[in-house]
Amino acid sequence: MNISILNESQCQSISDQAKKLVGEMTLVEKIGQMSQVFGHNAKIPNSMREDLRAGKIGSVLNEVDLPTLNEMQRICMEESRLKIPLLIGRDVIHGFKTIFPIPLGQAASWDPDMVEKGAHVAAKEAASKGVNWTFAPMIDISRDPRWGRIAESLGEDPFLCSQLGKAMVKGFQGNDLNHKNSIAACAKHFAGYGAAEAGKDYNTALIPENEMRNVYLRPFQAVADFGVATFMSAFCDLNGVPATGNQWLMKQILRQEWGFDGVVVSDWDSIVEMTVHGFTEDDAGAARAAIQAGIDMEMASQSYRYHLHELLQRGKIDIDQINTMVSRILELKFELGLFENPFVDESEAAIILHPDHLEAAKQAAIKSCVLLKNENNVLPLSLSKTKSIALIGPLADDDYEIMGTWVFDGEAQHSISCKTGLENLLEGEVEVKYEPGLETVRSTDESRFDAAIAIAQSSDAVVMVVGEESFMSGEAHSRAEIDLPGRQAQLINAVASAGKPLILVVMAGRPLTLENVLPATDAVLYAWHPGTMGGPAIADLLFGESSPSGKLPVTFPKKVGQIPIYYAHKNTGRPPQDGGCVNINDAPVRAPQTSLGMTSFHLDAGFRPQFPFGFGLSYGDFRYENIATSHSVINMGDEIQFSADVLNAGAHEAEEVVQLYIRDLVGSVTRPIKELKGFKRIKLKPKCRERVSFILSTDDLAFYDHQSKLVSEPGLYHAWIGGSSDASLWMEFRVNE
């Protein structure tokens, strides 16, 4: 499905208009359209005014003062020769003023409708301030939680990432880019960036082509087919060739194989950084490499402005390449309706922080939280039985860190902390005793531990809010160790000595290793960085106003040494088995080499993660029964239906994300032990059941073989339906030629 509603004649008309305009442009004006510059904080320096008049700027980045943007557009439309409007770019990653959960948190909702709504709210607010282009969704497959930008991702799985990526594109772009509440989306970072070595940002990615096609490219192809307006090249080099100059990626895959004809923009300075990579000798060489790869617009750096004229004169690039690139940029501007009206009416009230937006953000936060542990059903807390709670932790009363990474326009004053959220919900019916215990998450000062223990001892239950500051994830904020920073683990274990039910709320931009604190807790609610309405959402979840329904979009390791760890791994020739892996501490002295199980596992961590992909508890008790299929044998080209009963055996109404996994047991390329192929959200009252079905065609079983051909192969398959990638209810079926 392509979300564009332009018919063929309209597309042709826009293309013709763009080509006609290109024919009237000077080389300086063409290069200007290919140049994106950054704003000056509500100012337009004289030099910038002159460049706008001369047609030397095609796009402005990171300016959100509406009068300033309208004035920039006025200069272009009234004082420049060809009257070409500007693209106004801004990172609106998970909200503009109303901040939604970080993308990784949104992915934990497994709810495309919710993700679409969040992107729509962000687009609506940003468009009201003059923004018409955003650099999201980030759909890099992310399997290394050390990488800071995992916070911006939609997780480790190509299918889930594809579905949510398309939803985000739909939310930003709507059905018509010309609508006043629509902005152009940008799929980034193309491609392989999520596999940067050691989880270090900007680092090399080494990914075999077969793995690229079967895993890392899948979400990008999905949004390209869906109609995303633009792509962004990655910072990293891929197999030795920087993505920004990688012709295999940009020309063969994106343009030729997928037929993408939209705009491709570089990442910030990524063109000139090809020289730093050692791929080009100088900025002129970098500009040439980017042009040859097909990068239409340069973000921030100015190698196009300074070197394209000379490269053309020397015959190093062709004017037809330039014309094609400029045409793409102009076509996007026509599709956005900017030639007809590039201005935003300043007299209209800005649609910012509308009550509907705040409610949407709250519901998103509720659905994003993942209940990882709930021993003895300590949650939900009872209003009638709980007279007081001890609220402890450095993030318990923080309205800034709750917003998360990569927030440029959200403001702490509009966010609601956990403390405020609880107090507003409880309205004095339950006493909230507050003690941070630590000044910040990185603090090593334990002087307030005694005060924290004291309020825990005098309360019916303890809620501890811990995690990472927002700056600890996001771009350039990778971590070698991903446990709780500072003395937070020590604080948790100290407070546990009070002997009261201990509920841990974790706010973080990545999966954290929690092995050293889990035994001290009765319940763990993983809230990611939940955004503006995180406090009320968490309060509702703790006291049962809502039931947790989030599922992990990424695997949680026990130890950093297990990374990369993800559910869709290969079987290997010696797969590990429960009971067959001996822990290093259980081995006898002078143990012989072959005594510990000759399989693929870690002596000190086994082979299982702390929490698997797709995992998440609720206040319901969901059980899966009676899996069946419409056919045990199908032919190539047929469809097959899988069904199972889902029973809520618990005492609370709750939502469950039902998941379908497939395994191709024998392939011309070895296949993962499980692959997600479908998911559905259902809500069940206590003691009720529902029959849930999924339909797949043999095309849905396809993968890329060693000749880079997409193939579906006959053979034996397994299918699972359950509540996580550890689903145990399974059956088999066969596909014949």
**Which amino acids are annotated catalytic?**
267
Amino acid identity, position 702: A
DSSP strand pairing (715-722 vs 654-664): antiparallel
For 436-476, strand residue ranges (E) read: 461-467
What is the DSSP code (8-state) at residue 267?
Answer: -
What is the DSSP code (8-state) at residue 317?
Answer: S
Nearest Cα neighbor of 608 from 657, 555, 650 is 555
CA atoms of 287 and 65, how far apart (whole Å) = 31
Instruction: Specify the long-range contacts of residues 518-523, CB closer than 8 Å, at least 24 apart.
Output: 518/373, 518/610, 520/492, 520/493, 520/496, 521/373, 521/492, 521/496, 522/373, 522/374, 522/375, 522/376, 522/378, 523/371, 523/373, 523/374, 523/375, 523/378, 523/379
Helix axes 534-542, 418-426, angle to 10 degrees: 50
- Give the 3-state secondary structure of residue 342: coil
Q: 556 and 610 in contact (C-beta within 8 Å)?
A: yes
Q: Which residue do the tokens 């979840």 mark?
A: 541
How many C-alpha atoms does 735 have within 13 Å on its Cβ side?
A: 25
**CA atoms 95, 96, 98, 102: torsion sign:** positive
CA atoms of 182 and 336, how far apart (whole Å) = 8
How many C-alpha atoms does 52 have within 13 Å on its Cβ side?
A: 26
Length of the chain: 737
Q: 677 and 700 in contact (C-beta within 8 Å)?
A: yes
List beta partners, residue 263.
230
CA atoms of 513 and 493, how far apart (whole Å) = 15
Q: Sheet holding 230-233: strands in order across?
A: 186-190, 230-233, 263-265
List beta partners, residue 299.
36
Query: Cα separations (Å) of 405 from 92, 103, 134, 560, 658?
Result: 11, 10, 16, 22, 30
547: left (phi over 0), alpha (psi -120 to 50) or beta: beta
Longest dimension (CA), the chain: 85
Structural tokens at position 502: 């201990």
Q: 672 and 723 in contact (C-beta within 8 Å)?
A: no
- Give the 3-state secondary structure of residue 333: helix
Phi, psi for residue 335 in degrees, rounded to 5? -60, -35
